[in-house]
C-alpha cells in the first residue's frame, strides 16, 4: 500500500477533508503522480486484469488469489501484471477504489446528513450506513484489499479517519484522537463478515447498532 507521508493528526477543514491527507488514486499503485499518458496496449491490459480479477475475487476467497491466478485469468504475462500491481491486494484496491471515491465525494459535497450541513451525530450515523452498504455490496473486494493491519495503511482508511475525527472534534468530544480508530474498527471487512456470516446478523441490524452508537456518543446540538 502507498503511504504519502502525511500524519494522521493532520486536520481537514470544518466540514470535510476536501483534499484530505492520504487520499490518493489507488488504481495505479506504484505509479501515482507520474503524469505519464497510458499507452493503448497498457490500457487494454489494465482492463483485462481488472475484469479478470473481479471475477476471481467474486468466486473464491480473495486471500487465496495469487498473482499467477490473476495473470492466467487475464491472459497476460506475470511481468506485465507486476509492472502495474505489486500484489493481489493492490489489484483489489484498484477495483474497490471507484466505490470508495464516490462515497468520499458524497462526504465532501453531498447532501446532508451524509454531506455537510447536518449535526455531527447524524453525519456519523449516515457515514456508518453508507460504509455498511459498501461493505455488503463489495465484501469480497474489501477483504482482498484490506486484510488485517494493512487496512490501516490504505489511503481510504486515512480519509475515513480524518472525516470521523473532524466530526468528533466538531461535537466537542474529548480524546477524539484516541477514540477515532475504535469507532472505525466495526467497519473492518473481517468484522463485518463475522457479524453477517457467522453471527447471522443482517445488514440492517448492524447498521442500526452503529447508528445508535453514533447518536449516543455524540451530543445533540443545543437550541
Please name the residue ranges forming H helices in 110-138. 120-137
Q: Is it the case that residue 203 has pLDDT exceeding 50?
A: yes
Residue pair 125/217 in contact by the 8 Å Cβ criterion: no
Q: What is the pLDDT of residue 151?
A: 73
Residue 3 domain-assigned (yes or no): no
How many domains is the chain built from?
2
Query: What is the domain extent for residue 198?
Result: 88-223
99 and 190 part of one domain:
yes
Q: How far is CA 148 from CA 10, 63, 144, 189, 210, in A?
A: 24, 11, 10, 9, 21
Residue pair 130/51 in contact by the 8 Å Cβ criterion: no
CATH label of the domain that carries residue 144: 1.10.357
Residue 149 or 30, more confident: 149
Please give the average per-residue pLDDT across 184-202, as a whole number. Answer: 95
CA–CA gap between residue 67 and residue 215 (Å, rounded) = 43
75 and 97 part of one domain:
no
Please give the average per-residue pLDDT across 162-173, as a whole number. Answer: 96
Q: What is the pLDDT of residue 36?
A: 59
Residues 6+ apart with CB under 8 A from 172: 219
81 and 92 part of one domain:
no
Three cell numbers, residue 89: 491486494
End residue of a domain, out of 49, 66, 86: 86
Predicted model pTM? 0.71
222 and 119 part of one domain:
yes
Residue 133 domain-assigned (yes or no): yes
Residue pair 170/14 in contact by the 8 Å Cβ criterion: yes
Residue 37 domain-assigned (yes or no): yes
Residue 185 domain-assigned (yes or no): yes
Residue 209 domain-assigned (yes or no): yes
Please give the average per-residue pLDDT across 24-38, as a whole number. Answer: 40
65 and 40 part of one domain:
yes
Amino acid at each position: 500500500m502507498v503511504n504519502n507521508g502525511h500524519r494522521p493528526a493532520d486536520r481537514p477543514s470544518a466540514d470535510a477533508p476536501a483534499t484530505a491527507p492520504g487520499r490518493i488514486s489507488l488504481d495505479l499503485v506504484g505509479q501515482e503522480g507520474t503524469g505519464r499518458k497510458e499507452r493503448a496496449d497498457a490500457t487494454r491490459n489494465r482492463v483485462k486484469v481488472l475484469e479478470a480479477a473481479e471475477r476471481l475475487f467474486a468466486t473464491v476467497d480473495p486471500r487465496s488469489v495469487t498473482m499467477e491466478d490473476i495473470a492466467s485469468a487475464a491472459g497476460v504475462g506475470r511481468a506485465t501484471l507486476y509492472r502495474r500491481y505489486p500484489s493481489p491486494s493492490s489489484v483489489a484496491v484498484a477495483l474497490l477504489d471507484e466505490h470508495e471515491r464516490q462515497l468520499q465525494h458524497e462526504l465532501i459535497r453531498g447532501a446532508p446528513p451524509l454531506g455537510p450541513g447536518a449535526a455531527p451525530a447524524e453525519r456519523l450515523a449516515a457515514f456508518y450506513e453508507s460504509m455498511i452498504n459498501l461493505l455488503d455490496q463489495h465484501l469480497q473486494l474489501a477483504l482482498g484489499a484490506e486484510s488485517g493491519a494493512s487496512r490501516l495503511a490504505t489511503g481510504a482508511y486515512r480519509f475515513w479517519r480524518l472525516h470521523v475525527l473532524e466530526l468528533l472534534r466538531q461535537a466537542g468530544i474529548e480524546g477524539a484522537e484516541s477514540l477515532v480508530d475504535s469507532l472505525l474498527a466495526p467497519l473492518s471487512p473481517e468484522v463485518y463478515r463475522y457479524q453477517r456470516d457467522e453471527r447471522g446478523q443482517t445488514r440492517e441490524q448492524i447498521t442500526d447498532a452503529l447508528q445508535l452508537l453514533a447518536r449516543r456518543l455524540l451530543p445533540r446540538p443545543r437550541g
